[in-house]
Amino acid sequence: MRGVAGRVLVRWETLLVVAIVAVGIWSVTLSPFFLQRANLLDLVTPYVFIGLMAFGLTFVVITGEIDISVASTLAVSIVSFAQIFAAGANVWVAALIGLAIAGGLGLVNGLLVGVLDLPSLAVTLGTMAAYSGLAFVILSGEGVATFPEGFTKLGGGYLANDELPVALLVMLFFALVLGIVLHGTRFGRYLFAIGSNREAARLSGIPVTRVRVTVFVISGLMAGVAGLVYVGYFGSARADAAQLSLLDIVTAVVLGGVGIFGGTGSMPGVLLALILVAEVRNGMQLANFSGQLQNIVIGVILLAAIVAGNVIAGIRAGGGRTRPRRSRKEVTSNAPAETQVLVDSNS
Amino acid sequence: MITRVRAMKPQELAAAAFRLREIGIVLALLVVVVFFSIRADNFLTASNWQDIAQNVSIVVVVAVGETFVILTRNIDLSVGSIVGLSGYLVAATLAHHPGVPIEVVALISIAVGVGLGLVNGLLVAVARIPAIIATLATLAIFRGIHAEITGGKNITAYQLPDRFLSLAASKPLGFPALAWIAVVVAVIGAATLRFVPWARDFYAIGSNPDAARFAGIAAARRVITAFVLSGALAGLGGFLFASRFPTLDSGAATGFELTVITAVVIGGVNVFGGSGTILGVVLGAVLVATISNGFTLLRLDEFWKIFFNGFAIVAAVAIDALVTRRLQEALRRRRVALVSSQPQAAEA
């Protein structure tokens, strides 16, 4: 069983790597500067905050839920941080409070979904709007843009002869830590179990409610971390920050092979998908695509990723065509949920 | 005694709960009206009521379509983009060809909506992409197409013929034209959901997709129908939007889907599909639009409305879930009472 699922995961991630190389070749034809070391290292930097939110969302989606409030959570977190900083607090203290607020907003989502057992789609659609409104209430208008350099280094700084972006390291650090949590701990295996079959998970003694609340807190906290990187990179905190990033976040998660109905997914996949999204956006900028045209392309990629996942799942299930959707679990993207759980509980 | 217990069938109990919901909205509406009448000076004027009526009308038209989709346990996040795109095309058509009859322009707008709705339906029902993801993508794609068409330009009221601009302000039989259209759409929508077999299927699919399929319902075709109708009504909504707000750019009606979904959810349509009425949705739309109007009169910023919409969605969903659970608990107890033939237990 391990071999089968392992091969499928490898196959999906191999596809991503192939796509990254292909888009790379396209980019080289657009600009000879693409392959320069500095450009390659900086390729992902503007999208690090999207990646950090995608990592958090990955936890939520694997448990079979969704959190579309992440970008609004980021906005509330950074405007609170900015206001506290502007009021004279130490920038790191303010950053910690901003993080705590992001975690608190995630906790609100988590309690509504986990404890009151409300549908996460409706809850986070509501909190997406509520948080977004809240961000403007806290800081409307101009925004704050006077942060000390020691802080903005987090998102816009460089190490090693001004070549290595700090933000890239931050992202890789969280990819590693969250990857270990997801794939190497009992808590991580709980997520897959709950996402595959929540009732079975409950019956087998997994603290389902606590885990479901926790994943939303993690998602909120990651939006907070993303916010700090965002402020560092863009140098300012505004209430409409990251408002349009939801499409890219969801695309990174889905393109990364995370099954939209829960129970499957991998952190390396999401990381590769983020690199691909960043590379595609970068290429489109080189080709002078307008921002809206870029969104059309990303939207199409998002749809294509799911269709491709369905087709692969259909082929694997035999018959060579996508099977009719009998239950929610059967349309997961790259491996049948049951297989994944067996693998995860055996490892 | 047993007959008394049986007197309240599950459907009747559910119907009672819905009436409760509609009464609840009416009460909330009364509270809101009284509050704004006291706090906002211009709230109780005829022109303000007309303002509210016009805004409600556009929301109702689009919300009826959204209701069809949500009843089938799906969601359409792209309606705001469809309203914006079709509305812009209406204005652009009239700006470049002022002679085109209004009716033809309205049909074009609806046709655009049908096409975009069909895309959504095919993505969800045939390509089997979850509606939330599919319509999140098409929200961006339709808006992107819209922006590509406008190319950064906008259309202003000066470019549009008077007969189009006067449409929103006209009052046949003393009632705003937009409101007439909304009433017609709501009545047809309600009648369709009640009497037309394929529309009854929306409820069946939303209540239990598997059971609906096993019962022989062509679920995929029905879901496509729901999305096409949602698109068509969003297209009509775009036409009304353009007549009401004749200055359109690439951002027209951004976020309108949130208002629509708030109206639908407040109106008592279950986000898991399978239950909800057009009457509730109309009341929900009136409540949302009245509160939004009151906020404007109190000079509260736009983002308070966004905050309120979001809060209202969460609150409505929470109340729904609690009521549903109480209802199920009550039904379960009645069933137990019937089985054990001890009617006293049901009385307790």
Contacting residues of A for B147, CB less than 8 Å apart: 290, 292
- Rounded mean pLDDT of B227-250? 93
Q: pLDDT value at position B275?
A: 87
What is the per-residue pLDDT for A343? Answer: 37
Surface of A (323-342) touching B: CB under 8 A = 325-327, 331
Which residues 309-328 on chain B approach chain A with CB closer than 8 angstroms? Answer: 309-314, 317-318, 321
Hey, is the C-beta of B108 within 8 angstroms of any chain A C-beta? no
Return all residues near B124 (Cβ < 8 A) that are at least 6 apart: B74, B130, B131, B134, B135, B223, B224, B227
Q: What is the mean pLDDT of residues A257-279?
A: 92
- Residue B12: the pLDDT is 67
Distance from CA of A21 to the nearest CA of B (A): 25
Residue B329 or residue B109, greater confidence: B109
Distance between CA atoms of residues A110 and A217, nearest Å: 7
Average pLDDT over residues B118-130: 94
CB < 8 Å from B in window 224-243 of A: 239
C-alpha span between B188 and B64 (Å, rounded): 10
Contact at CB, A327 and B261, closer than 8 angstroms: no
More confident residue, A310 or B13: A310
**At residue B19, what are phi and psi to the nearest 5 degrees?**
-60, -40
- B276 with B69: CB under 8 angstroms? no
Phi, psi of A255 (to 5 degrees): -65, -25
Task: Tell whether B339 lies on the interface with A, counting CB pairs under 8 A.
Answer: no
| Closest chain B residue by Cα to residue A253 | B133
B48 in contact with A, Cβ within 8 Å: no
| Set of chain B residues whose Cβ sits within 8 Å of the Cβ of A131 | 310
- CB–CB of A299/B144 below 8 Å? yes
Chain segment A269-323, per-residue pLDDT in tens:
999 999 999 999 999 988 888 888 999 999 999 999 999 888 887 777 765 444 4
Tokens of A30: 């657009």
CA–CA–CA angle A75, A106, A93 (5° rounding): 60
d(CA A51, CA A31): 25
Chain B residues within an 8 Å CB radius of A110: none
Residue contact B137–A303, C-beta within 8 A: yes
- How many Å is the maximal CA-CA distance in chain B? 75
How buried is B278 (Cβ within 10 angstroms: 0-12 exposed, 13-18 middle, 19+ buried)?
Answer: buried
CB contact under 8 A, B303 and A327: no
**Residue B74 near residue B230, CB atoms below 8 Å:** no
In this complex, which of A118, A299, A322 lies closest to B141 when CB atoms are compared?
Answer: A299
Q: A144: which strand partners? A: A237
d(CA A276, CA A291): 17
- Beta strand A164-165 with A158-159 is antiparallel
Per-residue model confidence (pLDDT) at position A341: 38
The neighbouring-strand residues paired with A165 are: A158
d(CA A203, CA A157): 49
Tell me what the pLDDT averaged over chain B comes to: 87
> Most A CBs within 10 Å: which of B70, B79, B141, as the mutation test of the A interface?
B141
Nearest to B86 by CA among B225, B248, B227: B248
- Residues A147-198: tens digit of each pLDDT: 888 788 887 778 877 778 899 999 999 999 999 999 999 999 999 999 999 9
**Cβ <8 Å between B133 and A302:** yes
The B residues from 231 to 250 touching A (CB cutoff 8 Å) are: 250
Of A260, A302, A325, the CB nearest to B137: A302
Cβ distance of B129 and A130 shorter than 8 Å: no
Q: What interhelical angle do A267-286 and A2-30 show, nearest 10?
A: 10
Nearest chain B alpha carbon to A248: B137
Region B144-165: mean pLDDT is: 86
Q: Is the per-residue pLDDT at B238 higher than 50?
A: yes
pLDDT digits (tens, 9 = 90+) for A198-224: 999 999 999 999 999 999 999 999 999
Contact B140 A293 (CB under 8 A): no
Query: Cα angle at A29 between A26 and A34, to 5 degrees?
Result: 85
Range with lowest mean pLDDT among A18-27, A148-157, B32-41, B184-193: A148-157
pTM of the model: 0.86
A277-311 residues labelled b (16+ CB within 10 A) or e (exposed) = bbbbbbbbbbeebeebbbbbbbbbbbbebbbbbbe
pLDDT number for residue A39: 81
Q: What pLDDT is stored for residue A7 in this prediction?
A: 59
| DSSP letter (8 states) at residue A164 | E
* Section B89-111 average pLDDT: 92
Q: What DSSP string runs through A51-103?
A: HHHHHHHHHHHHTT---TTHHHHHHHHHHHHHHHHHTT--HHHHHHHHHHHHH
Q: How confident is the model over B55-95, as pLDDT tens digits?
A: 999 999 999 999 999 999 999 999 999 999 999 999 999 98
- Minimum Cα–Cα distance from A309: chain B residue: B129
> Which residues contact residue B221 at a Cβ distance below 8 angstroms, ignoring those fewer than 6 apart?
B125
Cβ contact A247–B137 (<8 Å): yes
User: Which residues in chain A have Cβ-Cβ distances shorter than 8 Å to B133?
Assistant: 250, 254, 260, 302-303, 306
- Would the pLDDT of B3 be above 80? no
Q: Mean pLDDT across the stretch A83-105?
A: 93
Tell me: pLDDT of B184 over 80. Answer: yes
pLDDT of res. B5: 46
SS3 B155: strand
Q: What would the mean pLDDT of B20-29 be, rounded to a whole number?
A: 86
Mean pLDDT of A41-60: 94
Predicted pLDDT at B13: 64
Distance from CA of A159 to the nearest CA of B (A): 36
Q: What is the mean pLDDT of residues A118-141?
A: 91
Residue B166 sits at the vertex; the CA angle it makes with B160 and B172, to the nearest 5 degrees, is 150
Residue A102 neighbours by CB distance under 10 Å = 31
Buried b (16+ CB within 10 A) or exposed e, A133-163: bbbbbbbeeebbeebeeebbebbbbbeeeee
Instruction: Please report the pLDDT score of residue A10 as a whole number.
Output: 53
Of A127, A261, A326, the CB nearest to B310: A127
Domain boundaries, position B222: 2-347
The mean predicted confidence, pLDDT, of chain A is: 85
Q: Measured between beta carbons, which residues in chain B are less than 8 angstroms from residue A127?
A: 310, 314
Nearest CA in chain A to B319: A118
Inter-residue contact A56 to A179 (CB < 8 Å): no
Which residues of chain A does B138 touch, with a Cβ-Cβ cutoff of 8 Å?
299
CB-count burial class (<10 Å; 0-12, 13-18, 19+) for B50: middle
Q: Cβ contacts (< 8 Å) between B311 and chain A: which residues?
A: 126, 129-130
Nearest CA in chain A to B125: A325
Which top CATH class is A2-346?
Answer: mainly alpha
- Return the residue of A nearest to B150 by Cα: A292
pLDDT at A5 over 60: no
For residues B297 and B99, the answer to whether their CB atoms sit within 8 Å is no
CB nearest to A292's CB, from B128, B132, B143: B143
CA atoms within 13 A on the CB side of B72: 34
Question: Alpha carbon of A139 to those of A12, A82, A242, A341, B311: distances in Å?
Answer: 43, 9, 15, 45, 19
Residue B301 has pLDDT above 80, yes or no: yes
pLDDT: is A225 or B168 the higher one?
A225
CB contact under 8 A, B313 and A300: no
Between positions 75 and 134 of A, the ones with CB within 8 A of B are 112, 116-119, 121-123, 125-134
CB contact under 8 A, B321 and A118: yes
Residue A120 has a pLDDT of 93
Closest chain A residue by Cα to residue B251: A292
Closest chain B residue to A326, measured at CA: B210
With a cut of 50, say whether residue B348 has pLDDT above it. Answer: no
The CATH number assigned to the domain holding B341 equals: 1.10.3470
Statement: residue A6 has pLDDT above 70? no
Q: Which of B143, B210, B258 sits opposite A129 (nearest CB)?
A: B258
CB proximity list for A155: less than 8 A, separation 6 or greater: A48, A49, A166, A167, A170, A228, A229, A230, A231, A232, A233, A234
Quickly state the pLDDT bin for A14 (edges 50, 70, 90). Answer: confident
Q: Which of A123, A134, A326 sits opposite B307 (nearest CB)?
A: A134
Is the per-residue pLDDT at B342 higher than 80?
A: no
Higher pLDDT, B322 or B282: B282
Q: In Å, how far is A342's CA from the nearest CA of chain B?
A: 25
Q: Which of A126, A246, A303 sits opposite B129 (nearest CB)?
A: A303
A245 CB within 8 Å of a chain B CB: no
Contact between A80 and A97 under an 8 Å Cβ cutoff? The reply is yes
Contact B271 A122 (CB under 8 A): yes
Contacts of B127 in chain A (CB under 8 A): 303, 306-307, 310
What total of structural domains would you count in chain B? 1
